[in-house]
Amino acid sequence: MTDLELTTVDYRKNGHVATLELDRPDVLNAMNLRMHDDLTRVWDDIEAEDDIWLAVLAGKGGRAFAVGQDLKELAGRIDDGTARSSFGSAGKPGYPRITERFSFAKPLIAKVSGYALGGAFELVLACDTVVASSDAEFGLTEARLDLGHHA
């Protein structure tokens, strides 16, 4: 358990290992602005904690690691004129920062079952190691969904 106030990521420390689970299983762990903020704080906490040597990232619910950006949230931001990608960390582009800078200091393992789509697949690709179950499905769906100009 940590003292961070997280609502979309379950974050635990056990010995030298941090475990993170994307925690919006009712929407297949779709990544909204809050999840990106939660992940930003978790990455910073892991890097600052000398006793954490390794992190494992997974998705809750079993049906999906994550399906990428929360399209309902994005549609609302398009409608109200505030559309911008939810990808970023502390004002820096990239999902959440490790894919942009590739500077995450500790090994990160993705544990994937079910769908890993869009930005979630990009996050998986930024990990040092990927362990995928036989039901894992990967895809970059932005082109099919015409999201390139909004993301």
What are the residue numbers of the active site? 122, 142
Produce one character per residue of 32-53: b if its CB has 16 or more CB atoms within 10 Å, e if not: bbbbbbbbbbbbebbeeeeebe
Contact 128, 108 (CB under 8 A): yes
Which residues make beta-bridge pairs with 138?
116
In sequence order, the 6+-apart residues with CB closer than 8 A to the CB of 121 are 68, 138, 139, 140
Residue with tokens 């393992």: 109
Residue with tokens 């978790």: 42
Phi then psi dihedrals of residue 144, to 5 deg:
-65, -30
